[in-house]
Amino acid sequence: MRKNLFITGVTAASLVAAGAVYFTLVAPGLGDDDAEITAGELCPQLGPAGPAAKALNKVLPAAGSYTVDEETAERRVRKADGFAGACRIRGDDKKLLFVANTELLATEPVDGWFSSVRGRDYPDGETRAFAPGDTGRASARAAAVLVPCAPAGQSPEGARSLSVTVRLPEGGRPKDTAAARDAVRELALAVARQSHRDAGCDTPAEL
């Protein structure tokens, strides 16, 4: 198999001064028709590429190729319009297989924040707390964590936090196993650490 790379700039209305980069990843997998995510062209938002690729290969459904695209916004921790980022992975049928989102928002209690991000990938009865101070919530196919970013006084909205979510929303979702949960939590924490650095946060991440 061969690996193709192409880059396209786009404008994303949901992000401030956003840019997008698209990569098509094709690497030899375990079978003739399977691909594996490689460390070479993953979104920077996922943190260190080697561990991210290893975790993704544990939870992504098999595909002949994967397409990765990213969107990033300007570092505006101290401005009301905020910081945001996204990383998406699609299979060769173009279905969305993985998405990681980061958004800067006004700090609120963890329970109140999680009620706003809860969806079909965080079903009642399957979600468990994780991360320091139980600031994260995870199921077998999704994890979300709230990360301190900026203290009160740096923006009109007061103290700011980063809301980080990772999901596997389409087909081939992993079973609710310890290994699946560990991999999804690992990805969420990696995104949280990297976003905390990229956003120029002043409050310790406490991760």
pLDDT at 167: 92
End-to-end Cα spacing for the chain? 39
pLDDT at 37: 83
pLDDT at 3: 29
Strands (E), the chain: 19-25, 66-72, 84-90, 96-106, 128-130, 136-138, 142-150, 160-167
Question: Can you give the pTM of this predicted structure?
Answer: 0.80
| Residues 53 and 23 sit within 8 Å (Cβ to Cβ) | no
The candidate with the shortest Cα–Cα distance to 19, out of 52, 35, 53, 43, is: 43
pLDDT at 61: 83
Per-residue pLDDT 10s for the chain (207 aa) are: 322 222 222 223 333 334 444 444 444 344 446 678 887 778 999 999 999 999 998 888 888 888 888 876 554 444 445 788 899 998 887 888 999 999 998 899 999 999 989 888 888 778 899 988 899 999 888 999 999 998 887 777 789 999 999 999 866 677 778 888 899 999 999 999 999 998 888 889 888
Q: Residue 133 CA to chain centroid, in angstroms?
A: 20
pLDDT at 147: 95
